[in-house]
Amino acid sequence: MIIEKSIIRQAAEATGIGEEDLAVFFGKGHPRSYQPGEWLFQEATPRRWAGIILEGEIELVRGLHGTSRHIAAMVAGALISEGAFLEDDSHSNGALTRKGATIWQISREEIEAFRRESPDQFYRIVSRVAVGINRRLRMLSKKFCSVKQDSVVMSGFRLEHDSLGLRELSDDVYYGVQTQRAMENFAISGATVGNFAHLVEGLAMVKKAAALANHELGVLDAARTTAICTA
C-alpha cells in the first residue's frame, strides 16, 4: 500500500514539512486499522511509533481514571504521535477513534534507522515537528491557565487556509489564519488593539452600520444581522 499524494500534500501544508521529505519518510512503515472505540494509545504509555492519519477521525483526550477531557479532533492528513521524532518517551495525551480509522505507522526503530540513513531529511522534518508541537502546547497552556481546572472544557483545532498554506487554529478563537500569522510574526510594538478601547468601539460601530446597511439592501439575512449587532 502506498500513501495517496493528497494525504502527503495535506500533511505538508499543515506542518510546513516538504512533500518530498514526507514522501520519503512515509515510504517506510505500514498501515494499521483501528475499530470504532479502539484506543491508539493511552496517556503516559510509551511512544512506540509516529504516524499519519489516512482515514477516519482521531480524538485526543487528557486525563486518567474517568476524568478525561476532549483536547482535539484530528482528521486525514494530520500527523499523530509525532513526539516519537523527538525521543519523547511517553504520551502526554490519549488517542482513540469513535468510528474507526486507518493510520500509517512508523516504529521508533524505523525512525532511528531513517535518522542514521538520511540525517538531513530527518532533521528538516524534526525542526517542523518541534514547531508544531510547541504551537499546540502554547494553545493548550492558554486554555488551562485561563479557566479553573475543574471546569475546563477543551475544544479542538481547526485548519484554515491562506496563500501560505494550512494552519492550525484553536476552535475557541474567532479570528482567522491571517490574524494568527500576524500575531506570530509582527508582535513588534508590544501593544495590541485591545489597548485602545475607543478604536475597538469605533470598529464595532462600523461593523454594526455595515450589517444594518447590507440587511436593508437585502444581502444579509436577519439572523446574521441580529448576531452582528448584538455582538
Q: Please, are residues 25 and 106 in contact by the beta-carbon 8 Å criterion?
A: yes
5-170: CATH topology is Jelly Rolls (2.60.120)
pLDDT of amino acid 188: 64
pLDDT of amino acid 146: 56
Report pTM.
0.60
The residue written with cell numbers 518530498 in the block is 20
pLDDT digits (tens, 9 = 90+) for 83-110: 888 876 788 889 999 899 999 999 999 9
Q: Please, are residues 58 and 99 in contact by the beta-carbon 8 Å criterion?
A: no
DSSP of 97-147: -SS-EEEEEEEHHHHHHHHHH-HHHHHHHHHHHHHHHHHHHHHHHHHHHHS
Query: Across-strand partners of 50?
Result: 106
Domain ranges in the chain are: 5-170, 191-230
pLDDT of amino acid 130: 84
pLDDT digits (tens, 9 = 90+) for 46-73: 999 999 999 999 998 887 655 667 778 8
Q: How many other C-beta atoms lie within 10 A of the C-beta of residue 73?
A: 16
d(CA 91, CA 81): 8
Please give the order of strands across the beta sheet that includes 69-74. 39-41, 94-96, 58-62, 69-74
The segments of the chain whose pLDDT lies below 70 read 1, 64-68, 88, 139-157, 187-192, 194-196
DSSP of 63-89: -STT--EEEEEE-TT-EESGGGGGT--
Grid cell, residue 48, equals 512506540
